[in-house]
Amino acid sequence: MLAMQRVGHAFLGRAVLAKVDLTVAPSEVVALVGPSGSGKSTLVHIAAGLVEPVEGRVTRGWRRQAMVFQEPRLLPWATARDNIAYPLRIAGHTRRAARTAAEDAAARVALDPADLGKYPVELSGGMRQRAAIARALVARPDFIHFDEPFTALDVALRRRMQDLVIAAAATGEFAALFVTHDLAEAARIAHRILVLDAGGRGILGSRTVPGTPGARSDAEIFARVQGWLADPLFRRIHDIDERRLA
């Protein structure tokens, strides 16, 4: 679904990614972890075609893609229903067809029908994020980019959102890149984890997560994360390089 070969990027002459080789298979969820400033979001934006790399090649095998950002990024003047339907409206679908599809997508993320007529300011943070996920699902993409979508949510709500992604991905409808700082989140959601280097030198290494997302117990996930904390590959993923964030 996605192949990157020797991809590199720089901002104002400062390298943030170099010689990145990455593949994502159909129906596979690949998590990207690494220190702040290691280029995770930049890499996802390159994959999505929002940013052109300075060097390297990107091959995209999907028919339709979608993205879920850290912030919901809903249109403030549109209702939740119309926000979810927006991708279909700009694709030329009739208003009736788009509204029906939006309501179906909202049901998939357990967004209450009574809330679909509300504006973003009237919704809780969790409801807004559900609407953003529904908006990503409504066009039935076969690839979704998740750029730290649950960082601002509390622990209980974050877990519920993770479960929504796991359930949707389990149908085999899409492959995904999922950026996160949380190893436990990566262990719950992903089939494979890639670790980015803090110095902009690309991908340090990868680890396949045993088992199937959604079928791993909390005890398995906890044990796996504890083991990774002793793994040199994961040792510095919580470092922050303020120079690279400036």
Domain harbouring 229, CATH code: 3.40.50.300
Q: List the domain range (segments joined by +) for residue 183.
A: 2-63+142-245
Residues 210, 95 within the same domain: no
> What pLDDT was estimated at residue 242?
46
Residues 233, 155 within the same domain: yes
Lookup result for tokens 């208003």: 95
Residues 92, 146 within the same domain: no
- Laid out side by side, the sheet with 55-60 consists of 14-24, 2-11, 55-60
Q: Domain ends where: 141, 169, 192?
A: 141
Q: Mean pLDDT for each 10-residue chunk of the chain (246 residues)?
A: 93 83 93 86 93 94 92 94 95 92 90 94 90 92 92 79 83 88 92 86 88 90 90 74 46
Residues 56, 133 within the same domain: no
Q: Domain ends where: 111, 141, 171?
A: 141
Residues 115, 235 within the same domain: no
> What pLDDT was estimated at residue 239?
60
Q: Domain ends where: 109, 141, 173?
A: 141
Q: How many whole angstroms separate alpha carbon 61 and alpha carbon 51?
A: 18
- The DSSP string of 157-178 is HHHHHHHHHHHHHHTT--EEEE
Helix (H/G/I), strand (E/B), else coil: 196: strand
Residues 30, 102 within the same domain: no
What is the distance between the terminal CA atoms of the chain, rounded to a whole angstrom? 33
Is 121 within 8 Å of 74 (Cβ atoms)?
A: no
Is 129 within 8 Å of 160 (Cβ atoms)?
A: no
Residues 149, 237 within the same domain: yes
Locate 196 and state its tokens: 């980015």
Residues 177, 231 within the same domain: yes
Residue of 214, 220, 216 lying closest to 165 (CA atoms): 214
| Count of structural domains, the chain | 2
